[in-house]
Amino acid sequence: MQIDPSGTGFGTPGWHAAAACRSLPKSLFFPVGTTGTAADDIVVAKTVCGTCEVRASCLAFSLVTEQHYGVWGGTDEQERSSLRRVYRAAGLEAAVAAAFDGTSTSARSA
């Protein structure tokens, strides 16, 4: 039986090897709640994301795989929820999926 270490059902993405958060506690990126120390953790996590070279891939992954919890690609849960509403309303699902799998987003204009 193969184990999915990411817990997403998609395995560990290749870009994860370069993640700035790789050696940090997961609790920093998945705090419980949004107030008090959790709010502090979210700020720190987003700061780490700001230094991360795979931020765009991380964000695209989180959107495509519907990650509703935690900080991904420098965004918190509410920010990703807003992003999903905006790009779905604009019909940009294919562009987001292309960003996730590394293909050109210009395919959308075809």
Residues lying near ligand SF4 in the complex (CB under 6 A) are found at 19-21, 29, 48-49, 52, 54-55, 58, 71-74
* The two three-digit tokens of residue 97, written as one number: 């999926």
CA–CA separation, 85 vs 9, rounded Å?
23
CB 1, min distance to ligand SF4, A: 27
Residue 62 · residue 79 · CB < 8 Å = no
Q: How far is the CB of 101 from ligand SF4 (least distance, A)?
A: 17
Pick between residue 65 and residue 108 the one whose CB is nearest to ligand SF4.
65
> Shortest Cβ distance from residue 28 to ligand SF4 (Å)?
9
**Of 45, 43, 16, which is closest to residue 28 (Cα–Cα)?**
45
